[in-house]
Amino acid sequence: MISAADLGPELAPWLVEQRWFRAKSRGATQVRTLHATEPADGLVHLMISVDGEPYQLLLGMRAEVSEHLEHAVITRVDGLAVFDATQDPELMGILLDLIADDGSAGGLDFRSEPGVEIERGLRARPIGVEQSNTSVVYGSQYILKIYRQPEPGPNRDVELHRALRSVGEKHIAEPLGVISGEVGGAGTVLGFLQEFLPNTVEGWATATASVRDLLAEGDLHADEVGGDFSAEAHRLGTAVAEVHASLARAAGTTTVDRTVVDSEVGAMHARLDTVLAEVPELAREEATLRAAFDAAREPAGPLTVQQVHGDLHLGQVLRSTAGWVLIDFEGEPAAAADQRRLLRTPLRDVAAMLRSFDYAAFHLLAGEDADRQHLARATEWADRNRTAFCDGYAEVAADPREQEALLRALELDKAVYEVRYEHQNRPDWLAIPLAAIKRHS
């Protein structure tokens, strides 16, 4: 069986180039094999540790690779080309057939969801969008997500999809099957098969197209241009509220007293401390931010918490012909697995989506000296769609704006996190969260 060591010095630079590889700036120094099996001829499943972080690889091995796979070749070992198997329609097709058969192979388990019949013999294609895992699409029916950093134990994405499915929630892609295995002695979900929704567009694409339309129209207002997004924002608000209601029904709710809110506010202050130390520009807003966080302690009475999406933004919602669909329930990417499972106020998702509307509105102006009219238009777009989203939400659940202080604190806390992220990764976009903090505080 091939191991990471057999792949030689070519593996590390290949890893660093991959979109899903996290520690790009640190590079990959120490690569160890945790686990290697061969679920099918010429298909190797490899769990590796890169400087202590586990990653999942699916590698193909073949004497000759066709031209369309050349880009996926990592190295050659003993005359065989070793390549990223997620890019190979045939090898990925084998995985689907294994799920259809409810089979086991190479120590991995392939299971379709109860009552689900999977069609065999479909070839796969890579999805071709920027993402943090790797997904392949089968025909127009299925999408398989290969988790690049699978964690031992229950998988939140799969569990919440199943819970939502069990109460008949419509605004999700149906869960169809799971690939799992024992990694380091613990059961681990490695892949997740779902209904593929053809002819969808990501919320981010539609929303930003609408902003572009508005900026191009010098004299018209948001309600007058063709690409007005507010009816969609309203529907999206309703869909998110319905998913929240379903999560509450399927997984329960509980009430927490204000000491929990107090410690949450304490955590906001602590995060602000960290970011202030890194980003001096934020110092001017410190007093107003702290006041906004403290204001969230105010309203008396218990707070209802439940499972939420945890990483909601316009890139995690798809508009299908039937309506909005929420995808990717893995939860907050920066948090540890046990933190991601905590019950939260659904206002967190609302605050996160409101931040996403703000990003959609202002990202086209980032990095340039925007003229006053453009800024006014973008502000108008953000206000209009944020309002529409909350209006839509309020059709199904309590209006999130009723808990104004908490919603504002959550939104500002998220913006503080974004300040740090942009400072480290996309300095051109730093102005987006900074301006939002100025506007709202």
Binding residues for ligand ADP (CB under 6 A): 127, 129, 131-133, 135, 143, 145, 173, 194-197, 200, 202, 315-316, 318, 327-328, 330
Binding flag, residue 264, Mg ion (CB under 5 A): no
Q: Least separation, in Å, of the C-beta of 318 and Mg ion?
A: 11
Q: What is the token pair recorded at 38?
A: 């061969």
Strand 134-138: give its sheet, edge to edge. Answer: 104-105, 108-112, 175-183, 186-195, 142-146, 134-138, 124-126
- Alpha helices (H) along 51-155: 89-100
In three-state form (DSSP H/G/I as H, E/B as E, the rest C), the secondary structure along 302-318 is CEEEECCCCCCCHHHEE
332 near Mg ion, rule: CB under 5 A? no
Least separation in angstroms between CB 137 and Mg ion: 15
Task: Choose from ligand ADP, Mg ion, none: what does 200 bind? Cβ within 5-8 Å by kind.
Answer: ligand ADP
Min separation Cβ 165 and ligand ADP, Å = 13
Q: Is the distance from CB of 392 to CB of 236 less than 8 angstroms?
A: yes
Residue 211 or 327 having the CB closest to Mg ion: 327
Are 414 and 252 spatial neighbours (Cβ–Cβ below 8 Å)? no
Q: Min. distance of Cβ 329 from ligand ADP in angstroms?
A: 9
Q: How far is Cα 230 from Cα 325, in angstroms, rounded to an integer?
A: 17
133 contact, one of Mg ion, ligand ADP, none, CB 5-8 Å limit per kind: ligand ADP
Q: How many CB atoms lie within 10 A of CB 92?
A: 24
- Segments in 395-430 forming alpha helices (H): 404-425
Instruction: Draw the binding track, 191-230, toward Mg ion (x: CB under 5 A; -: no contact).
Output: ----------------------------------------
Question: Binding to Mg ion by residue 328, rule CB under 5 A?
Answer: yes
Q: Collect all residues with Cβ–Cβ distance below 8 Å to 99 and sequence separation of at least 6.
A: 110, 111, 112, 118, 176, 177, 179, 193
Nearer to ligand ADP by Cβ, of 204 and 383: the residue is: 204
Q: Name the residue nearer to ligand ADP (CB basis): 75 or 141.
A: 141
Which among ligand ADP, Mg ion, none contacts residue 56 (Cβ within 5 to 8 A by kind)? none
- Give the residue with the Cβ less far from ligand ADP, 174 or 391: 174
> For residues 275 and 282, is the Cβ–Cβ distance under 8 A?
yes
Enumerate binding residues for Mg ion (CB under 5 A).
328
